[in-house]
Amino acid sequence: MSGLRPHLDARERPIGLFKPNPDNPRAITDEKFEALVESLRTMPWLMRARPLIARPDGKVIAGNMRLRAARALEWPKVWAVVVADEIPDDDVEKLVALVDNNPFGVYDETLLAEWVYDLSERDVDLSLTGFDDSYVRRVLASVAGPEPEPHPPSGHVDYQCPQCGFGWAGHPRPRDATGAAP
């Protein structure tokens, strides 16, 4: 298998040539499917950047959800690579399908939160990312942090030193069991 070097000829082809893989183990929720459809509607060039991979008979090996989304959008054509000799048997076909769907990477949560926050500040539709709303809210909350406490009015005194009379607003410094500040 290490010697596989397919000649990939990605081109736009009539959508009617392709059929979903009936044995595809990958599923998609309605919410995620709608997000995929909207992403492709907004950025159709993504299909060219990540074309379907199919057999000569039209069976899609990789890109079944993208095919379904393109049909929902009523596209007459989709970008696809048709492979024959490059995928000699069912084992390699299954391997390609699994590799295509496996999220190998992991997010740097801090950087992801910054990106999502930046996009939200620019009023970008975050549903286009494919992340569900609860995840986006959690990520945004991690950037925003807790709400700041309101400042007391000027001249307001919360605490006063019993020895010198100095007054201050805010929280007192923590003390240990002997009364000393750390």
What's the CATH number where 61 sits?
3.90.1530.10
Confidence (pLDDT) at 1: 46
State if pTM tops 0.75: no
3-state secondary structure 68-104: HHHHHCCCCEEEEEECCCCCCCHHHHHHHHHHHHCCC
Of residues 90 and 26, which shows the higher confidence score?
Answer: 26
Judgement on whether residues 68 and 124 belong to the same structural domain of the protein: no
The arithmetic mean of pLDDT across residues 140-155, rounded, is: 64
The arithmetic mean of pLDDT across residues 10-26, rounded, is: 93
Full residue range of the structural domain in which residue 41 is found: 11-101
Confidence (pLDDT) at 150: 58
Half-sphere exposure of 71 (CA within 13 A, CB side): 13
Judgement on whether residues 116 and 91 belong to the same structural domain of the protein: no
Judgement on whether residues 29 and 59 belong to the same structural domain of the protein: yes
To the nearest 10°, report the CA torsion of 158, 161, 164, 169.
Answer: -30
Pair of tokens at residue 8: 């990939």
Judgement on whether residues 65 and 125 belong to the same structural domain of the protein: no
- pLDDT tens digit sequence for 99-116: 887 877 888 888 888 888
The helix (H) or strand (E) run that includes residue 53 is strand 52-54
Matching residue, tokens 């909350």: 141
In a domain, 65, yes or no: yes
Per the rule left: phi > 0, alpha: psi between -120 and 50, beta: everything else, 131 is: beta
Q: What percent of the chain has pLDDT over 70?
A: 74
Instruction: Give the pLDDT band (50/70/90) at residue 158.
Output: low
pLDDT at 49 over 70: yes
DSSP H helices in the chain:
30-42, 45-49, 64-72, 90-101, 109-121, 133-144
Q: Which amino acid, one-letter code, is at 29? A: T
Q: Domain count of the chain?
A: 2
Confidence (pLDDT) at 151: 56
